[in-house]
Amino acid sequence: MLLPLLLTALVIVADQLSKAWIVGNFAMFESREIIPGLFNFTYLTNKGAAFGLLNGNYGAWRQIFFVAIAVIALIVLIIALRQLREQGWIYGVALGLIAGGAAGNLLDRLRLGAVVDFLDFYYKGHHWPAFNVADSAITVGVSLLILQQILSGKNVSDP
């Protein structure tokens, strides 16, 4: 149980420190080239979900919806961790990463009303939607869960 908690805390700290650095050193929409032709730091905010979904003007309900979803997700992750901790360390790592990412983005929504994104990958003018450390942790965590399921050949609910 200690490893997932440590990973959750590490992701939250790394996520919040990186976002604080961006907010403190960039103007909104400012972009700085890091790897020419591939990667920039670009300060953006996202009031919506992944890839900017629901990023329009939906009023307070959108904020309430996303905060509620994040809280529910964290509760589900805690329950899953308790049920899966006997099935191997990889589940703890994956769920710790996902929980840390969810908590990091939740903190942004509560403090700022939007999530700070800044990792901007592109190729020949085609940009992947900007993301952040929390999003990366969620993606890696979910990928680990999927990979573990494929390699183990059984469902999470199987005894």
Q: How far apart are CA 128 and CA 38, in angstroms?
A: 10
Q: How far apart are CA 98 and CA 100, in angstroms?
A: 5
Paired residues of 40 in beta bridges? 33, 120
Q: Is residue 62's pLDDT more than 80?
A: no
Q: How far apart are CA 58 and CA 101, in angstroms?
A: 24
The percentage of residues in the chain with a pLDDT greater than 90, rounded to a whole number, is: 54
Where residue 158 falls (left for φ over 0; alpha for ψ -120 to 50; beta otherwise) is beta
Active-site residue identified among 15, 108, 120, 135: 135
* 15 counts as catalytic: no
How confident is the prediction for the chain on average, in pLDDT? 86
* 117 counts as catalytic: yes
Most confident of 41-45, 80-84, 152-156: 41-45
User: For the segment 28-46, what is each residue's pLDDT rounded down to a tens digit?
Assistant: 999 999 999 999 999 999 8
pLDDT band at 54; cut points 50, 70, 90:
low
Active-site residue identified among 15, 108, 117, 120: 117
- The pLDDT, as a whole number, for residue 115 is 92
